Structure 1
């Protein structure tokens, strides 16, 4: 089986797609064939899946074997309402077989498949599954993307604890933006003083890739 890396986050709009694209580019620069999938995307209006199109454009530039793919190959399950899949789908049971089939198709052409989740770990998909359940069901390791603004200590530790309780191998990366200049004063000291490894998406993508690939 090829390497599967699941990108999750402490909440929505934390930077999963941005991080996913950086990972794809870094792995590709090392001579690895890359693939990407976002199993579920909500907020798809008039058939246009924004994340799917963005990821598709990126991966086609990096892996010529994927030129024949369409947006539906990148995002196999879409819903119009911009809400948790449980709500957006009207609690439709998850078609896990469809997702696994798409991943296996990608793996025939890839060394590494990056799987982008939707929202945070406890976004409900249906009555049986939360987003965190997909990580184990898809036999992936996880990258938890967290923010650098006030509150990130709580958000990061809660999400990390959830992954640990499920025995999911994972790494944490901080996605700091230009607005997060206070991180070094109000949050980072806690992490550093407690021995928490602070890896930043913008500066440490090479280290992040190394660790994830070897988990």
Structure 2
């Protein structure tokens, strides 16, 4: 089995795709053949997967073995409605075989496969499955991307507790956008005092990659 890394977040629009792209670039710079997939994408209109297309474009630049891969190859499950997969699919049971087949195909082309989730950990996929259940099933090393706005302490701790409850090996990185000063003053002191290693996506991607690869 090749190294699998699952990128999840405390919510939607936190920076999963941005972080996934940085991971791809960093691992590729180390001489590794990189691969990427997004098992489920919603908001797909006329066959256009916004996240999938962005990820595919980059991975083709970084790994020539993906030259013949299409967006349908890296986004095996697609829904039109921009909503939780449970809603967008009208509670269609998750097809794990389709995801397994995609992983098997892509792993032949890469040394490390980055898997980008949808939304946060407790986004429902079907009646019995949440994103966190998919992560557990895949047994991938997991990166939790969290925001740095007011409220990030609560959001980060809740997601961390959820991952720990499932015994999912993980690390946490903070995606700082325009509120570095605010984070440093309002939230970072708590994380430092409580023993968190504060890794920032835009500044510490090399360290984040090291930690993930060794989980």
Fold shared per TM-score above 0.5: yes
User: Whole-Å Cα distance in 1 between the matches of residues 128 and 105 of structure 2?
Assistant: 25
User: Whole-Å Cα distance in 1 between the matches of residues 179 and 166 of structure 2?
Assistant: 33
User: Whole-Å Cα distance in 2 between the matches of residues 144 and 179 of structure 1?
Assistant: 19
- Tell me how far 1:180 sits from its aligned partner: 4.2
- Tell me how far 1:201 sits from its aligned partner: 0.2
Q: What whole-Å deviation, never above 9, does each CA across 1:64-123 have from its counterpart, x for those lacking one?
A: 000000010111111010000000000000111101110111111110000000000000
Contact 1:191-1:198 within 8 A present in 2 as well: yes
- Tell me how far 1:198 sits from its aligned partner: 0.4
- 1:142-161 correspondence runs (5 A): 142-161=142-161
Structure with greater strand share of residues = 2
Residue matched to 2:203: 203
User: Whole-Å Cα distance in 2 between the matches of residues 110 and 15 of structure 1?
Assistant: 24
User: Whole-Å Cα distance in 1 between the matches of residues 64 and 30 of structure 2?
Assistant: 15
- Tell me how far 1:56 sits from its aligned partner: 0.3
Q: Quick check: 131-140 or 111-120, which moved more?
A: 131-140
Q: Which runs of 5+ in 2 are unaligned?
A: none
Contact 2:139-2:168 within 8 A present in 1 as well: no
User: Whole-Å Cα distance in 2 between the matches of residues 104 and 177 of structure 1?
Assistant: 35
Q: Show structure 1 runs of 4+ deviating over 6 A.
A: none
Q: What whole-Å deviation, never above 9, does each CA across 1:117-169 have from its counterpart, x for those lacking one?
A: 00000000001210001112112110000000000000000000000010000
- 1:3-14 correspondence runs (5 A): 3-14=3-14
Residue matched to 2:165: 165
User: Whole-Å Cα distance in 2 between the matches of residues 123 and 137 of structure 1?
Assistant: 15
TM-score (norm 1): 0.99
SS of match in other structure, 1:114: strand
User: Whole-Å Cα distance in 2 between the matches of residues 31 and 206 of structure 1?
Assistant: 14
SS of match in other structure, 2:177: coil
- Tell me how far 1:46 sits from its aligned partner: 1.4
Q: Which runs of 5+ in 1 are unaligned?
A: none
TM-score (norm 2): 0.99
1:103 equivalent to 2:103? Answer yes
CA RMSD of aligned residues (A): 0.7
User: Whole-Å Cα distance in 2 between the matches of residues 10 and 57 of structure 1?
Assistant: 26
User: Whole-Å Cα distance in 1 between the matches of residues 207 and 79 of structure 2?
Assistant: 35
1:191 equivalent to 2:207? Answer no
Count of residues in Structure 1 that have an aligned counterpart in Structure 2: 215
Q: Quick check: 83-92 or 41-50, which moved more?
A: 41-50
SS of match in other structure, 2:61: helix
- Tell me how far 1:181 sits from its aligned partner: 2.7
Residue matched to 1:178: 178
User: Whole-Å Cα distance in 1 between the matches of residues 65 and 44 of structure 2?
Assistant: 27
User: Whole-Å Cα distance in 2 between the matches of residues 210 and 49 of structure 1?
Assistant: 30
User: Whole-Å Cα distance in 2 between the matches of residues 35 and 122 of structure 1?
Assistant: 25
